[in-house]
């Protein structure tokens, strides 16, 4: 069966995270301006002959803004979680808790959250076939279901 693909890129999400299990400098809180690169796939185009109506992704952008724009990402098992929660309550950080705040974990987390939204939005006609999350121009992680 033939498939069609299209891509959509969302840029400019400055946030911080840390890899608390790392023995390198990655264990410290540090930040990047992340970007998200979605690959959409379908076997049947819309009446407009599109894979995905990009104008219908405002809710995706809003969710990405809420999760990653000027936020602090922490892995749910970080031993400093209680301190991070206190900083969030005090208005020092905007804490977002992920199963794994690293790039690979972020790619999987975003895929899982957005996959259901895209399937619902398109009545199952479109799916996310690949999601790349970049922390900068040099480093990225890819999640392929």
| Confidence at residue 130, expressed as pLDDT on a 0 to 100 scale | 98
Helix (H) or strand (E) holding 130: strand 126-134
- Tell whether the model's pLDDT for residue 25 goes beyond 80: yes
Instruction: Kindly give the residue spans of alpha helices, DSSP state H, lying in 41-80.
Output: 58-68
| Confidence at residue 2, expressed as pLDDT on a 0 to 100 scale | 83
Rounded mean pLDDT of 67-83? 98
| Contact in structure between 56 and 46 (CB atoms under 8 Å) | no
Q: What does the alpha-carbon distance between residue 40 and residue 130 come to, in Å, rounded to a whole number? A: 7
- Tell whether the model's pLDDT for residue 1 goes beyond 80: no
From residue 131, how far is each of 28, 36, 58 by CA, in Å?
26, 7, 18
């Amino acid at each position: 069966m033939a498939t069609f693909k299209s891509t959509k890129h969302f840029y400019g999400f400055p946030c911080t995270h840390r890899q608390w299990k790392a023995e390198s400098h990655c264990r410290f809180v540090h930040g990047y301006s992340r970007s998200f690169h979605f690959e959409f796939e379908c076997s049947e185009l819309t009446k407009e002959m599109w894979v995905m109506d990009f104008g219908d992704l405002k809710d995706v952008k809003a969710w990405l803004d809420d999760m990653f724009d000027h936020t602090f990402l922490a892995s749910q098992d970080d031993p400093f979680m209680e301190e991070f929660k206190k900083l969030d309550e005090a208005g020092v950080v905007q804490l977002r808790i992920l199963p794994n705040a690293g790039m690979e974990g972020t790619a999987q987390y975003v895929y899982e959250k957005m996959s259901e939204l895209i399937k619902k939005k398109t009545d199952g006609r479109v799916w996310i076939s690949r999601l790349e999350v970049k922390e900068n121009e040099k480093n990225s992680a890819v999640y392929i279901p």
